[in-house]
Amino acid sequence: MIISPFIVFDGNEGCGKSTQAKLLKEHLESIGQAVLLVRDPGTTRIGELIRSILLNPDHTEMAMRAEMLLYMAARAQMMHEVIAPALASGTTVLCDRFVSSTLAYQLGGDGLTADDIRAVAKVSIGDRWPDVTLILDMPVEQSIARVQRAKDRIEQRPIEYHATVRQNYLAQARHMPDRYRVINAGRAPDEVQVDVRKALLSVLRV
In this predicted model, what pLDDT tens digit does every residue of 154-189 receive, in sequence order?
A: 999 999 999 999 999 999 999 999 999 999 999 999
**To the nearest 10°, the Cα dihedral for 165, 44, 6, 105?**
10
pLDDT above 90 covers what percent of the chain? 93
Residue 183: predicted pLDDT:
98
Nearest to 87 by CA among 75, 95, 96, 97: 95
Residue 163: predicted pLDDT:
97
Residue 205: predicted pLDDT:
72
Residues 6 or more apart whose CB falls under 8 angstroms from that of 100 comprise 8, 10, 130, 133, 135, 169, 172, 180
d(CA 98, CA 102): 7
d(CA 56, CA 37): 24
Cβ-contact 131, 95 below 8 angstroms: no
In this prediction, residues 44-59 reach a mean pLDDT of 97
In this prediction, residues 146-159 reach a mean pLDDT of 90
Nearest to 179 by CA among 132, 110, 124, 120: 132
Residue pLDDT, tens place only, 52-107: 999 999 999 999 999 999 999 999 999 999 999 999 999 999 999 999 999 999 99
Tell me, what DSSP letter sits at residue 110? G
Residue 148: predicted pLDDT:
76
Q: Is the pTM of this model over 0.75?
A: yes
Q: 6-199 has which fold? A: Rossmann fold (3.40.50)
Q: Is the pLDDT of residue 145 over 70?
A: yes
Q: Is the pLDDT of residue 149 over 90?
A: no
**Domain residues of the chain, as ranges?**
6-199
Residue 2: predicted pLDDT:
52
Q: Is the pLDDT of residue 44 over 80?
A: yes
Rounded alpha-carbon distances, angstroms, from residue 131 to 3, 27, 50? 11, 19, 26
Nearest to 13 by CA among 120, 138, 197: 138
Tell me, what DSSP letter sits at residue 109? G
Residue 186: predicted pLDDT:
96
Residue 150: predicted pLDDT:
81
Q: Tell me the H-state helices in 125-184.
A: 140-145, 159-175
Q: How confident is the model at residue 1 (pLDDT cuts 50, 70, 90)?
A: very low
